[in-house]
């Protein structure tokens, strides 16, 4: 759930079950990460970087990355467009704190067949920024802790991504990011030590989720 969301209102707590509730470092609203989706993260240090597509304002970089994401979807034969303005009816605090992320689209988030297919959020610290998001190419999976409008989910398309599918999609994603954002991509695989660190951190998150902002600030 989002950095600025009220934890008591973000989800229905007695319906979480074994799903860990984790506060992310960016804004936006709560969503359920499931094995049918892709997630992405782009981290940029803008200092001394000569690339207008990823060194501009928050609006400029959000637009550039959205256009790159749409080029990725086109390669998968998925037609899409980004939202130019957030809906006025869905800007209130009550909606922000309690409505799920995929209930509506904010500026520069991506729509396909009139439903949000990619949710993204960006955070800036000094000369750097992180933008990450959830790509629901297989539909949005339900979760009882979220008040989602089931008719808008495309949940019947939800299916777990196989390892082979993931690797193929990963290659397409990197190629399209490089092509559209004018970047040179060098693939790096985690070594055994790094993989073990990630595994331990993942287990820590499951046992002690990030519930307080102070943890994130540290």
CA dihedral in degrees (21, 25, 26, 28; nearest 10)?
20
Closest to 115 (Cα-Cα) out of 79, 77, 166? 79
Whether residue 151 lies in the annotated active site: no
User: What are 110's two structure tokens?
Assistant: 């991506």
Angle between helices 58-75 and 163-181 (to 10 degrees): 130
Which residues have a Cβ under 8 Å from the Cβ of 165 and sit 6 or more positions away? none
Q: What is the DSSP string of 150-217?
A: GGGS-GGG--PPPHHHHHHHHHHHHHHHHHHHT---------HHHHHHHHHHHHHHHHS---SHHHHH
Q: Which of 101, 117, 148, 181 is catalytic?
A: 101
The catalytic residue positions are 101
């Amino acid at each position: 759930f989002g950095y600025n969301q009220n934890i008591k209102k973000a989800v229905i707590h007695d319906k979480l079950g074994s799903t860990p509730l984790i506060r992310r470092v960016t804004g936006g609203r709560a969503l359920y990460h499931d094995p049918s989706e892709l997630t992405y993260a782009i981290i940029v240090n803008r200092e001394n970087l000569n690339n207008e597509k990823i060194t501009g304002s928050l609006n400029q970089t959000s637009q550039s990355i959205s256009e790159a994401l749409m080029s990725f979807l086109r390669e998968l034969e998925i037609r899409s467009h980004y939202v130019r303005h957030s809906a006025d009816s869905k800007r209130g605090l009550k909606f922000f704190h309690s409505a799920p992320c995929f209930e509506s689209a904010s500026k520069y988030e991506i729509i396909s067949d009139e439903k949000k297919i990619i949710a993204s959020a960006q955070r800036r610290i000094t000369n750097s920024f992180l933008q990450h998001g959830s790509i629901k190419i297989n539909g949005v999976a339900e979760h009882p802790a979220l008040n989602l409008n089931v008719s808008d989910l495309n949940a019947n398309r939800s299916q777990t991504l196989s390892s082979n599918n993931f690797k193929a999609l990963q290659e397409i994603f990197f190629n399209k990011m490089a092509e559209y954002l004018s970047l040179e991509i060098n693939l790096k695989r985690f070594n055994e030590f790094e993989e073990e660190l990630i595994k331990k951190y993942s287990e820590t998150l499951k046992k002690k989720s990030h519930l307080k902002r102070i943890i994130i600030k540290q």
